[in-house]
Amino acid sequence: MGALADKFRPTSFRARYPRWMVGKPLLIASSALPSLGDAMFGYSQGVIAALQVQPNFIRRFFGRDVTLEQIQAGDTGVDPYVQAITVSCLNITAFMAAFAAAYVCDILGRRISVRLGGLVYFVAAIIQILSPNLACLIVGRSLQGVGVGILSMTVPILQCEIAPGNARGLFVGIEYLCLNAGYALSTWVGYAFFFTVPSDISWKGPYIVQAGMAVVLVLWSFILPETPRFLIANGFEQEGLWVLADLHAAGDIHDPAVEETFRTIVNTVERERALGQASWKQLFTQHTRRTVMGLTCQIFAQFNGINAILYFLPENLMRAGFTSERSLLYAAASSLIFCFGTVPTMLWIDTIGRRPFLLVGAVALAASLGVVGGLQFYVDTLPSGSARQPGANGVFAAVCLYLFSYGATWGPGPWLLGGEIFPLRARAKGMALSTTANWLCNFIIAFITPPLFASISGGYYFLLLGFCLLSGVFVYFVYPETGGKTLEELDEVFNDNGAPISSNERGEKALSNTAIASCEAPQHPAALQDGDSERTLKPSGASVSDGKSSISSGSR
């Protein structure tokens, strides 16, 4: 596998970002690239929910000629298992794609992996726009799952690897805000196109927006840099230093923080190279606690109920007593609450810590689901119409509280942990394992929710409530605090990454200083006079530390 992988590894790296972007603009833009990928991930969650309450969508793909009144009454005649397959097919292909993305991410790089995910997502959107029947729609949605799986595995890694050590929570919080914004966009797009019923544009329009987002992501990926850690780990040591300085010090390679981070990364790469690339088995034998955290945080993130709410939110609100139009409007309004929930994460998760957020979130989610479930049982005893309105309003308020709490805690928290807790040599595989746990549980939730709502109604919310309480107990006893440390310093938290390589501190610093000095050559992009640099670096192929990488430069 290693020899085959080496044939596909990059032998040169081109940075095409203009020099005026160097510094904060480049860091913000580099964060925005994966954040757009997350927005597409969020958009895929919400788009199907709005379409399931459109008569012409149901007629075209499920063969049932129904009215809005029948949909509102829940009398569509659609088999709940067919509905479950239509929704959940994306999740199972995302599950499989996340595993494959571990190799793409490690071999071709984080940036290429994002680009590939965007391309697949675009093709999937076109298939769904042109779908003549349910089989074709499921094929398109399944392919969309491949793109979403690649993006959901790669994006958190990219964010964590470009973020400063004391601001990973902020960066992943921004990422999750964009995911929520993508979901919010899908709800408002679905609501807007609902008014074009019975025209086919009512269901094709949301997929056209989806295709447009994919085009922007793919084009953007050609401009922004690869992560410094991937570059250094693959022999692009000098290029990694340049990108590190461009991201965090306005291009100054002698900035003390840049030099210290660079040395730490180089030494960590050398130690991990001495240990060898982590195998899937080693995730469970050597990095057991990290793997348990990575798996369980995503398992609980799903079984705490988020997609039981989001995938079927308009239906759930209609079940509580709202009209079709009002259900779509309230689903869109609650999506904004979901977005605002991410603000506390961005502001305080780096200072307060990961554990307090997850513990408070577990309690808040359980309380919200208890209210929703209780009120659902109550409105089920009432006749349809105005008598249900007070209870329906209570359900909506509790759903908003749930979404705000989830957006602040168990939404971004697991993605942050999955991206940061694994060492560099195991990061892609570890994140892939964590992500596949998310998608497998996502599939289970999407598949079992329609029949469970049909059979036990509000009782389903109490089942999810139990998982929320269990997640809080698990965090309290198993999860260490990982905030406030660089990715390399987390080895000290888990103490499972082996002994350092046998070289003294002076030798390690001399190695890194040699690389820093070599970057003062005239090929440094800052010496280029035009606005767009294109630099090619040939890696040594032997070791990060041999200091023999050759550099060639040019300008476009």
Residue given tokens 């794609």 in the structure block: 97
Structure tokens at 261: 């981070």
Give the per-residue pLDDT at 497: 62
Q: What is the pLDDT of residue 515?
A: 54
Q: Which single residue is written with the structure tokens 């697991």?
A: 414
Cα(233)–Cα(275) distance, integer angstroms: 13
CA–CA separation, 115 and 113 (whole Å) = 5
* Strand runs labelled E in 183-274: none
CA 259 to chain centre: 30
pLDDT at 2: 58
The residue written with tokens 């009120």 in the block is 375
**Averaged pLDDT in 10-residue chunks for the chain of 556 residues:** 64 76 85 81 83 88 85 79 88 88 85 92 95 94 92 83 77 82 90 89 93 92 86 87 89 88 87 78 90 95 91 82 86 92 90 94 96 90 81 92 95 89 85 88 89 87 96 95 83 71 43 53 43 45 40 34
Find out whether 190 and 49 touch, Cβ atoms under 8 Å.
Answer: yes
d(CA 81, CA 13): 48
Model pLDDT, residue 540: 42
For the range 545-553, what are the long-range contacts, defined as Cβ-Cβ under 8 Å and sequence gap of 24 or more?
545/266, 545/270, 545/511, 547/237, 547/511, 547/514, 547/515, 547/518, 549/235, 549/236, 549/237, 549/238, 551/238, 551/239, 551/518, 551/521, 551/523, 552/523, 553/523, 553/525, 553/528
pLDDT attached to residue 95: 87
Instruction: Return the residue matching tokens 């981070």.
Output: 261
* Six-digit token string for 33: 């690239």
In whole angstroms, what is the distance from residue 402 CA to residue 165 CA? Answer: 30
Name the DSSP letter for residue 465.
H
- Res 531: pLDDT: 43
pTM: 0.76
Confidence at residue 498, expressed as pLDDT on a 0 to 100 scale: 56
Residue 461 contacts by C-beta under 8 Å, 6 or more apart in sequence?
305, 369, 370, 372, 373, 376
